[in-house]
Amino acid sequence: MKVLLAIPNQDFDPTEAAVPWKLLTEAGIEVVVATPEGGPAAADPIVLEGKQLGLLRALLQADANGRRVYREFHASACSESRCYDELRSEDFDALLLPGGHAPKTRPHLESEPLRRLISEFFAADKVVAAVCHGVVAVARARRPDGKSVLYGRKTTALTEAMELFAWNLTKKRLGDYYRTYPQTVQQEVTQALQSPDDFSCGPRPFLRDTASKPSRGFIVEDGNYISARYPGDIHRFSHALLAKLQSSH
């Protein structure tokens, strides 16, 4: 099996990319990393190192496990990514779309070649898994009738409450770093759905999930589409993706 892991060249979330990569590769699944430009890829340094977060570091920085797994991921898979333009959906069994909210994620979220790939994966009913801002990329991909590929499906993503909470806590120090666009993720994704009720916020995220306690996480599954909200859902999300792939082969 082969999974396409599509991330920005810069500023992607380290946990959301590295944790599923590790689980899939340990299960013997080939994971191909791709970016808008190809070449090297690197995670958001603020989330990774926490240096500019001040007293909020413990709350907003990637946790110890996320940082450790990211170091493995970066050393093994990020030195030379593929470019979206050169890829074909038929060469892969699944598409994985982690998130990332910092400004340098925009070329990824606005990539027309990525939207083409996403549309092709949905048209072929292949597995697509997206978390946080990765769901924005999915919502922007279109079906032949012009509607979003998420129209008629159920999903979650970074919720408005979570996004505005982080932005309000950090805007004096970091400006709009936590607001990728003026419109929140939940607002944009909901507009792409058939009904606002098709967006699920899930329970309040008091605790992040862990490798030993994945049930703390929240995901939404709709056929071969899996979505999650933020790094605190990533272990449950990753296990659901692996299970979906194993059941389909």
pLDDT in tens, 206-228: 889 999 999 999 999 999 999 99
Q: Determine the pLDDT at residue 51.
A: 87
Residue 3 to residue 129: CA distance in whole angstroms: 10
Express as a percent the part of the chain with pLDDT over 90.
Answer: 94
- Give yes or no for residue 201 having a pLDDT over 90: yes
What percentage of the chain reaches a pLDDT higher than 70? 100
pLDDT of 161-189, one tens digit each?
A: 999 999 999 999 999 999 999 999 999 99
With a CB cutoff of 8 Å and minimum separation 6, the contacts of 45 are: 51
Half-sphere exposure of 194 (CA within 13 A, CB side): 7
Strand partners, 33: 5
Q: What is the pTM of this model?
A: 0.97
Residue 249 pLDDT more than 80? no
Question: In whole angstroms, how far apart are CA 97 and each of 52, 109, 139, 202, 212?
Answer: 26, 10, 12, 20, 23
User: What does the alpha-carbon distance between residue 67 and residue 61 come to, in Å, rounded to a whole number?
Assistant: 9
Name the token pair of 57. Answer: 């570091």
Write down the pLDDT at residue 82: 97
- Nearby residues of 189 by Cβ (< 8 Å), 6 or more positions away: 135, 136, 139, 150, 155, 157, 199
Nearest C-alpha neighbor of 126 from the set 6, 12, 241, 7: 241
Which pLDDT tens digit goes with each residue over 39-97? 999 999 999 999 889 888 988 999 999 999 999 999 999 999 999 999 999 999 999 99
Provide the pLDDT confidence category of residue 140 given band limits of 50, 70 and 90: very high
> What residue has token string 């419109």?
183
Task: Confirm if 124 and 222 have CB atoms less than 8 A apart.
Answer: no
